[in-house]
Amino acid sequence: MTDFVVGTSAYGHADKDLLREAHVGFVRQGFPFPFTDRHGGTVSEKYREARARAESWVEQGFRIMGITPLIGFERPDEEPRVWKVYSPDWMGDQLSETFSENYRKTCAFLAEDLRGLVSIWQIGNEWNARAFCGPLGMRRACDLVFYGAEGLKSSDPTVLVGTNGGGITTAYYLWGRLFNDARRDLLDYCGVDEYFGTHRVGGPENWDTMIEELADITQSKVLVNEWGYSSAGELMNDAERQRAWGGAYYRSCMIHKWPFAWGGGHTPEVQAEYIRHTLRIFGKHRDKLIGMFFYRWEDQEKCWCGRSDCPCETRWGLVDLGGTPKPGYYAFKEGVRDLMDA
């Protein structure tokens, strides 16, 4: 066996025995802003709950990849688009130096308070995307990554620290800027989220090129923070695909269908085959990879748009809504075993 990271996103009630049988050792978990009124002040109930969840996972033998607090969200399927701020008012205006410094302090607190619980950190989430970086834009978002990294490393130099670029081609700006900065040594990995065959054209074979490119561009180890393939969902027709085009990506929640498919479409059987192919490619590039996090462990009742018939966030799981393994579970279990034993 190796120390190759195998993880997923999962709810606390997930079947731990099934997770272990699938060789999952890490769980990806987000943490909110910890203080409600000032740095070092009143700890929020949401943070207490998140910390308790992390403790529970670790007590049951799993390890945590933590996500530092998201600063906000802008739903890409809504017009006009509205930036919903997640940071508390005391942090300051998100474009200010005060906010950046408070974010550094927040990350320093998280690394210290969660020492022994979180061993890998992802700073923010897909800050190359307008939906997640909002008013910062990519340039300021890159600077905030370094503020976060400085904070994390100042409290716990042993943790692995990085961030993830997501999907659309603007991620290459994020990677290029971060890994050509004098502060690049603060980052231990280049993180990538990609969904070939659903949000983006292609299939498992595209991972072959992407991993090679990122390792070359960044001269860093690569961590696949998110990957997967939906086991359900119809395909858009040409008119729907044109209507869903958002200028840099497809806003699938507008149509509640996928712009792309791989193989025989979006079925549990095709999902399993997709997983087999992708894990073989990851195995080919083990020397360049820290590991990977599959998205996600279980299906969900509703998409974040509120609809149960929208495939965008409902049928990615290795197990169904009742916790029963799908064909993809067995493909994942066998593929990871082969990857780790190779």
C-alpha distances in Å from residue 171, one per residue of 165, 233, 275: 5, 26, 24
Q: CB–CB of 110/104 below 8 Å? A: no
CA dihedral 276, 278, 281, 282 (to 10 degrees): -100
CB burial class (10 A; 0-12, 13-18, 19+) of residue 304?
A: middle
- Residue at token pair 């044109």: 242
- Residue at token pair 């692995």: 160
Model confidence at 1: pLDDT above 60: no
Which residues lie closer than 8 Å to 118 by C-beta, 6 or more apart?
54, 64, 65, 66, 110, 111, 159
Maximal CA-CA distance, the chain: 54
The tens digit of pLDDT for each residue in 31-44 reads 999 999 999 999 99
pLDDT at 184: 97
Q: CB–CB of 6/26 below 8 Å? A: yes
Looking at 145-149, 163-167, 258-262, 321-325, which range is the least confident one?
163-167
Q: How many CB atoms lie within 10 A of CB 52?
A: 11
| Domains of the chain, each with CATH number or no CATH | 5-341 (3.20.20.80)
Name which of 303, 340, 322 is nearest 14 in CA terms.
322
Q: Over pLDDT 70: what percentage of the chain?
A: 99
Angle between helices 268-284 and 327-341 (to 10 degrees): 10
pLDDT tier for residue 248 given thresholds of 50, 70 and 90 = confident
The Cα–Cα gap between 333 and 22 comes to: 4
Mean pLDDT computed over 246-259: 87
Amino acid at 129: A
The tens digit of pLDDT for each residue in 48-70 reads 999 999 999 999 999 999 999 99
pLDDT tier for residue 78 given thresholds of 50, 70 and 90 = confident
Higher pLDDT, residue 121 or 1: 121
The tens digit of pLDDT for each residue in 233-243 reads 999 999 999 99
Model confidence at 322: pLDDT above 80: yes
Model confidence at 195: pLDDT above 70: yes
C-alpha distances in Å from residue 330, one per residue of 11, 233, 316: 20, 21, 15
